[in-house]
Amino acid sequence: MKRLHVHVAVENLDRSIGFYSALFGADPAVVKDDYAKWMLDDPKVNFAISDRAAVPGVDHLGIQVDSSDELTELAGRLKAAGETTRDQQAATCCYARSDKAWVKDPSGLSWETFFTFGEATAYGEDQPPAAVEDRPKAACC
């Protein structure tokens, strides 16, 4: 089963946690000093926020899959369609360990396709395919 992933950069993490907890009717599953994540079933979404980006707003979108085989199939579809992916194995990002394939849509929006297989004690330093100079504190997940 696939789950939509949305990562939003926020200015004030505590206020944003309060807002999104009220909106979703649920507390986040993960809360760190610079990050929070909700794993919602209705709607089926992995919704994350962080205060690490230079500019607030949508940082990136993604599709979380349940297995490495699903990730291989999804990234394969993108490559077969002529898209260039940036593949990562065992990336540490957003306090998790994941295999990933990043791609940009025709408008330049970053999409992360990923399979998470473990937790991490640090946020991580993974970077989506956005230019680092455009977003010096870009979120990694």
**pLDDT exceeds cutoff 50 at 133:** no
- pLDDT, tens digit, 9 for 90 and up, residues 83-93: 999 999 988 88
121 or 67, greater pLDDT? 67
Beta strands in the chain (DSSP E): 3-9, 30-32, 35-41, 44-50, 57-65, 86-93, 96-104, 110-119
Lowest mean per-residue pLDDT among 10-14, 31-35, 123-127: 123-127
Tell me the mean pLDDT in the region 100-111.
Answer: 90
**CB neighbour burial string for 92-124, b if at least 16 within 10 angstroms, e if fewer:** bbbbbbbbbbbbbeeeeebbbbbbbeeeeeebb
